[in-house]
Structure 1
Amino acid sequence: MTEKEAPAPSGSTVTKPDRGHLIGVGAMWLAKWSLVLVAISLGALLFGWIIEKLWVIVLPVLLAVVVCTVLWPPTRAMTRRHIPSAAAAATSLIVFIAVVAGIIAGIVPSVVNQAPELANKATEGINQVQDWLKGPPINLQDDQIDQGIHTIIVKVQESGTVIASGVFTGVSTASSLLITLGLVLVLSFFFIKDGPRFIPWLHSVGGGRAGRHLEVVLGRMWDTLGGFIRTQALVSLIDAVFIGAGLLILGVPLAPVLAILTFIGGFIPIVGAFVAGALAVLVALVANGLTTAVIVLIIIIVVQQIEGNVLQPVLQSKSMKLHAVVVLLAVTAGGSVFGIVGAFLAVPAAAVAAVVVRYIGEQIDEHSAESNIADAVAADEDLDDAEREGVTVDQAAVAPKAD
């Protein structure tokens, strides 16, 4: 015998919402958020289209901002010693140009002097490979080898064209590469000199509330971008020093050039280190043989494992806060759309976008907490009123109102 349920209290009826009403509410919620996602996606596509059309202008601005993150600390140190901002910015920029020019002047003669010898050794290596392919157990014919070599040459030429077009994407429409670089230097000078005036001006234009949000977000963006550039420079320098030292000890040609390429490749996470390491192994294989190439490969793997598992997590934990999947997708998307420059700028752009998303989340959490507190206070007041009237909160909520 089943026990009968207790009757509901007198004067209280519990009415469940109609099933169709619940489905309608859920459908309206889904439709509303679907429209929001569609609007955000269309806005992102429109923003990307505008960036692509104005890439010739956007590229120098972005590169100038990156240069400013490197030159701002010494400029700030000089201004604190009462050096005029224009003189401090000009000094930092001139020293930067001198360092870059010195590096280029140092590696070009090395490449020119060692390139013929490297080409001769590459030819000898190719001939040895051909002789090996003709013998057992492969036993290829000359026409098969020639066809394979022709296919490889065509692929290399196509890859070279793609790489060259990727390097100069956004620059080819300008009058020349020198004009673009000159624009980067001019913008860098004014950004460094007048940068501290930008935030107060933006605050005054945006007003008190909007200006406060812009000031916080832009400040965090600048800290994140500067932290990424400086941290990545330190990590890349460590990679270049140890890998370059190994190449020098092993007597690999173009060791300084390969070390510099390793340093530059470090600014393109995941992809850059792989390409620079593969190039170093290839040069060692052609010039010094298989044994040296294997040793170079081991050195590169050990250095990059220490860098990836020890240095980067420690140094970038406060500056980036990005998952490796996000980094890989950002590099892939940036490289496919804007070439090598896009791959270089992809991770800083993703980190800056993450700053905006985190700040929006903080604001939502802050206002949600305020709403919860207000709801709790209102519920306590309703409870006090109901207790004073001698009824429970549930009965007061379901009691029919008098006409």
Structure 2
Amino acid sequence: MGGTATMGNRRPSNAIEAIDRQEESANDYVEDGVTPPRTAAYAADRNPNKGIDRAGVISHALKWTASWSLRFIVVVAATWLVLQVLGMFWSALLPVAIALLVTTVLWPPVRWLRAHKVPPALAALGGLLLAVVVVGGIVAATAPTVSSQWGDLVNQSVAGVNQLRDELQNGPLHIQPDQIDQATASITDRLKSSGDQIATQVLNGITLAGQVLIDGVVALILTFFFLKDGPRFLPWVRVSVGRGAGAHLTEALTRVWNTLSGFIRTQAIVSAVDSICIGIGLVVLQIPLTVPLIVLTFFGGFIPIVGAFAAGTVAVLVALVAGGVSKALIVLIIIVAVQQIEGHVLQPLLQSRSMSLHPAIVLLSVAFGGSEFGIPGAFFAVPVAASVAVLWRYLSEQIDLRTGDARAGDLSPATAEGEYAAQAGERHGRLLAQLRHRD
């Protein structure tokens, strides 16, 4: 009997302990916002909310928000740190960036030479000589025109200023000559008082010219080595980081390279069409400095939106000084028409969807690059934005492979290593799906 009584006393105690443990387990799940199936009815009876506890839902939402907020802060801080490092070493990185872009332009003829059994060093040297001949030809064709027409343009500028002064005196404003003289004297005194600052700016300009010359020489040397030894880079990366990471880097960097090459070729074609069409209009209107304006329009096309606007503004001002308001308006109409044809016809036809960027992204990247790194930053802003877009698309593909939204056969990798990475990503996705199903 005593044993029976003892057993009878233990059973309720054990039952109570089991219920307490079940309640604690249910409360733990409820705090995390999930009710386990075995205790759902019990938790619903004991929970005043008749379901999942509101505090658990709110706690889960706050945890999710705090977690992603922390990730966002870390990404922003890392981006700011990278930009600071780039700013510190910008003078050293600028020749590298220039050399990379020049290499994308010169690589097709160099690759053709290498394919025809020309040694790598000689092929790279031949590509550089080709670039020097082209640039030298442009300078040789531009310099005589500038020197011969510059004097006439200055004289026309002075005549335009005098005409403007006469219109201010005799026009509806009736500005008196002494007021004009006072304004001129004020400007002259201001310039005299700022002589030291002007001298400093001149010295800074001379220093900048020297820095540009040094950067150009360094970029030329780097371009030679990139053309000569560039094909060895990706194999070295694969050996250094391993097969898995090397496959991803090989595919991603190859896509970036192809995008940059396509971007440069496309912009060169678009800029050439713009400069030729605008140049024809300038020749018909007999605007001076036509050849320099054509060259300026061509190179300005490599800075989308901003470069075309700046080159067009210079052309309109030259037309205003040389031919008056009527010719300036005609030049403005020609430039606007050519820009519209470029934006709505040439760009959609020549640029594939994988390379295209939204105009807002282009404008913001050019504005940011120009404000942070000056004219070189504005020039490299769009290539950098296009490269970031390519990397983002590649990351999105890898995520789709792991979520099951894409298959390796649906993709078009640029390299054999990219095909290997896609297949590995698909296998990883199937493994994750199996683990989720097993849970």
Same fold (TM > 0.5): yes
User: Structure 2: how far apart are the matches of 1:375 and 1:194?
Assistant: 41
2:402 and 2:430 in contact (8 A); partners too? no
- CA separation of 1:40/1:143 partners in 2, compared to 1, >3 Å: closer, same or farther? farther
Instruction: Identify the residue that residue 52 of structure 1 maps to in structure 2.
Output: 87
- CA separation of 1:108/1:174 partners in 2, compared to 1, >3 Å: closer, same or farther? closer
Alignment of 1:76-87 (within 5 A): 76-87=111-122
Given the alignment of the two structures, is residue 270 of structure 1 paired with residue 286 of structure 2, yes or no?
Answer: no
Q: CA deviation at 1:321?
A: 2.4
Instruction: Identify the residue that residue 223 of structure 1 maps to in structure 2.
Output: 258
Q: Quick one: which of 381, 390, 395 aligns to 1:346?
A: 381
Q: CA deviation at 1:131?
A: 1.0
User: Structure 2: how far apart are the matches of 1:34 and 1:358?
Assistant: 23
User: What's the secondary structure of 1:289's corresponding residue?
Assistant: helix
- CA separation of 1:363/1:151 partners in 2, compared to 1, >3 Å: closer, same or farther? farther
1:262 and 1:276 in contact (8 A); partners too? yes
Question: For residues 80-112 of structure 1, what are the alpha-carbon distances to aligned partners after superposition, in whole Å with 9 as ceiling and x for unaligned?
Answer: 111111111100101101211121122122112
Instruction: Identify the residue that residue 231 of structure 2 maps to in structure 1.
Output: 196
Given the alignment of the two structures, is residue 241 of structure 1 paired with residue 276 of structure 2, yes or no?
Answer: yes
Q: Quick one: which of 326, 333, 338 aligns to 1:298?
A: 333
User: What's the secondary structure of 1:97's corresponding residue?
Assistant: helix
Q: CA deviation at 1:23?
A: 0.9
Identity %: 47
Instruction: Identify the residue that residue 259 of structure 1 maps to in structure 2.
Output: 294
Instruction: Identify the residue that residue 393 of structure 1 maps to in structure 2.
Output: none
2:401 and 2:429 in contact (8 A); partners too? no
Q: CA deviation at 1:142?
A: 3.0
Aligned AA (2:249): L
Question: For residues 134-172 of structure 1, what are the alpha-carbon distances to aligned partners after superposition, in whole Å with 9 as ceiling and x for unaligned?
Answer: 1242112335445666899989xx9xx99x99xx99x95
1:252 and 1:288 in contact (8 A); partners too? yes
Q: Quick one: which of 217, 221, 225 aligns to 1:182?
A: 217
User: Structure 1: how far apart are the matches of 2:171 and 2:163?
Assistant: 14
User: Structure 1: how far apart are the matches of 2:85 and 2:98?
Assistant: 18
Instruction: Identify the residue that residue 210 of structure 1 maps to in structure 2.
Output: 245
User: Structure 1: how far apart are the matches of 2:186 and 2:397?
Assistant: 56
1:228 and 1:319 in contact (8 A); partners too? no
Instruction: Identify the residue that residue 7 of structure 1 maps to in structure 2.
Output: none
User: Structure 2: how far apart are the matches of 1:211 and 1:151?
Assistant: 66
Q: Quick one: which of 65, 69, 90 aligns to 2:104?
A: 69
Instruction: Identify the residue that residue 394 of structure 1 maps to in structure 2.
Output: none
User: Structure 2: how far apart are the matches of 1:368 and 1:338?
Assistant: 40
User: Structure 1: how far apart are the matches of 2:429 and 2:242?
Assistant: 29
User: Structure 1: how far apart are the matches of 2:55 and 2:112?
Assistant: 68
User: Structure 1: how far apart are the matches of 2:293 and 2:267?
Assistant: 18
1:56 and 1:174 in contact (8 A); partners too? no
- CA separation of 1:331/1:149 partners in 2, compared to 1, >3 Å: closer, same or farther? farther
Aligned AA (2:359): A
Alignment of 1:322-333 (within 5 A): 322-333=357-368
User: Structure 1: how far apart are the matches of 2:112 and 2:362?
Assistant: 33
Aligned AA (1:339): G
Aligned residues: 366
User: Structure 1: how far apart are the matches of 2:244 and 2:103?
Assistant: 28
User: Structure 1: how far apart are the matches of 2:344 and 2:187?
Assistant: 36
Q: CA deviation at 1:379?
A: 8.3
Q: CA deviation at 1:67?
A: 0.2
Instruction: Identify the residue that residue 38 of structure 1 maps to in structure 2.
Output: 73
Instruction: Identify the residue that residue 132 of structure 2 maps to in structure 1.
Output: 97
Instruction: Identify the residue that residue 390 of structure 1 maps to in structure 2.
Output: none
- CA separation of 1:12/1:347 partners in 2, compared to 1, >3 Å: closer, same or farther? closer
Structure 1: 4+ residue segments shifted above 4 A = 146-155, 171-175, 370-382
1:227 and 1:319 in contact (8 A); partners too? no
Given the alignment of the two structures, is residue 133 of structure 1 paired with residue 168 of structure 2, yes or no?
Answer: yes
Given the alignment of the two structures, is residue 19 of structure 1 paired with residue 54 of structure 2, yes or no?
Answer: yes
**Where does structure 1 lack aligned partners over 5 or more consecutive residues?**
1-9, 383-403
User: Structure 2: how far apart are the matches of 1:23 and 1:172?
Assistant: 61
Aligned AA (1:264): F
User: Structure 2: how far apart are the matches of 1:318 and 1:228?
Assistant: 12
Q: Quick one: which of 331, 336, 347 aligns to 2:371?
A: 336
User: What's the secondary structure of 1:353's corresponding residue?
Assistant: helix
Instruction: Identify the residue that residue 109 of structure 1 maps to in structure 2.
Output: 144
Q: CA deviation at 1:43?
A: 0.6
Q: CA deviation at 1:296?
A: 1.1
User: Structure 2: how far apart are the matches of 1:237 and 1:360?
Assistant: 35
User: Structure 2: how far apart are the matches of 1:329 and 1:149?
Assistant: 39
